[in-house]
A and B are shown apart, each in its own frame.
Chain A
């Protein structure tokens, strides 16, 4: 069974540009999460989807970040316009609704804003 996949693995953009990150969760996982890790710091929660609905987006830094999960399958996270402080590794994770609690993470998308 395929795990959580993320694309791109690394993106380098100029300040002010737009980037869209994509996450394909494990098939059948209704819970989908976005997290971000800035160098040397904790993995910070951004938002949580259940199917196509945003359940909690309290971690989204500001309105430059937009996450979608149309159809309840894959999700995208768009940053527009990107700022220097947006650099970091963006992780997507998925889990079964009502599951034991284990999150399955993708390998992350590293974003570098110059």
Chain B
């Protein structure tokens, strides 16, 4: 069936580097995408979202890029900090639905 997936299960970076976490989706009817961060022992926390009528959205130190042509989503984190270490999930939502579908997650490890 159609699903949201991630290319890399684990990403290790040095503190201060930029991080890029990728996500592929296959449901062409999805029109809303969200990135969540899950720290150890906590629930997923909203980071940033983007609608399908946009291809880029920026937040504080984070940027989400959406390429609808290849059904690809990425999360860029600038100047990665140890506190950014977590599992990052992308999620998609089909238009008219209230239910986001999550991928497997990417573990980001930031080395001091």
Contact = CB atoms under 8 A, between A and B. Distances in A.
Interface of A: 4, 31, 33, 35, 40-45, 48, 50, 55-56, 91, 93, 95, 100-108
B100 A107 contact: no
A33 B99 contact: yes
Contact of A42 (B32, B99, B104): B104
> Can you list the 10 inter-chain pairs with the closest CB atoms, starting with the nearest?
A105-B43, A43-B102, A42-B104, A105-B44, A107-B43, A102-B46, A106-B43, A42-B102, A107-B42, A108-B43
Contacts, number: 56
B101 A45 contact: yes
23 contacts: A31-B98, A40-B9, A42-B4, A42-B102, A42-B103, A43-B44, A44-B102, A45-B99, A48-B98, A50-B98, A56-B99, A91-B43, A91-B44, A93-B43, A100-B49, A101-B32, A101-B34, A103-B44, A103-B46, A105-B36, A106-B43, A107-B42, A108-B43
A103 B100 contact: yes
- Most B Cβ at <10 Å: residue of A33, A42, A50, A106: A42
Interface string B73-112: 0000000000000000100010000111111110000000
Interface of B: 3-4, 9, 32, 34, 36, 41-46, 49, 89, 93, 98-105
A43 B45 CA distance: 13
A45 B1 CA distance: 15
A67 to B, nearest CB: 14
B98 A55 contact: yes
Q: Is the interface of A mostly helix, strand, loop or mixed?
A: strand
B44 A102 contact: no
A77 to B, nearest CB: 15
A79 B13 CA distance: 40
B35 to A, nearest CB: 11
Given A101-B32, A102-B34, A102-B49, A4 B98 contact: no
A4 B46 CA distance: 14
Nearest to A107: B43
